[in-house]
Amino acid sequence: MSATPIDGKAIAAALRARVAEETRALAARGVHPGLAVVLVGEDPASRVYVRNKAAQTVEAGMRSFEHRLPADTTQADLLALVATLNADDDVDGILVQLPLPAQIDAQTVIEAIAPDKDVDGFHPVNAGRLATGMPGLVPCTPLGAMMLIDTVRPDLSGLEAVVIGRSNIVGKPMAQLLLARSCTVTIAHSRTRDLPDVCRRADVLVAAVGRPEMVRGDWIKPGAVVIDVGINRVPNPAAEHDPAAKKTRLVGDVAFAEACAVAGAITPVPGGVGPMTIACLLANTLQAAKARRGI
Active site residues: 53, 97, 120
Q: CB-wise, 153 or 166, nearer to ligand NAD?
A: 166
On whether the CB atoms of residues 285 and 62 are closer than 8 A, the answer is: yes
Options 18, 32, 47, 166; binder of ligand NAD; rule CB under 6 A: 166
Query: How wide is the angle at C-alpha 232 spanned by C-alphas 139 and 95, nearest 5°?
Result: 30
Sort 46 into a burial class: Cβ within 10 Å, 0-12 / 13-18 / 19+.
middle
Give the side-chain half-sphere CA count within 13 A for 283.
23
DSSP H or E run through 52: helix 44-59
Q: CB-wise, 119 or 209, nearer to ligand NAD?
A: 209
Sort 192 into a burial class: Cβ within 10 Å, 0-12 / 13-18 / 19+.
middle
| Interaction between residue 270 and ligand NAD (CB under 6 A) | no
d(CA 23, CA 2): 39
Read off the amino acid at residue 70.
P
Stretch that binds ligand NAD, among 23-31, 75-83, 103-111, 208-216 (CB under 6 A): 208-216
d(CA 191, CA 205): 18
| Interaction between residue 189 and ligand NAD (CB under 6 A) | yes
Q: CB-wise, 21 or 218, nearer to ligand NAD?
A: 218
Site for ligand NAD in 129-148 (CB under 6 A): 141
Options 113, 169, 262, 289; binder of ligand NAD; rule CB under 6 A: 169
| Interaction between residue 277 and ligand NAD (CB under 6 A) | yes
| Interaction between residue 93 and ligand NAD (CB under 6 A) | no
DSSP three-state, residue 107: helix
The minimum distance between CB 230 and ligand NAD, in angstroms, equals 4
Binding site for ligand NAD (CB under 6 A): 141, 164-167, 169-171, 188-190, 192, 195, 208-211, 229-232, 273-274, 277
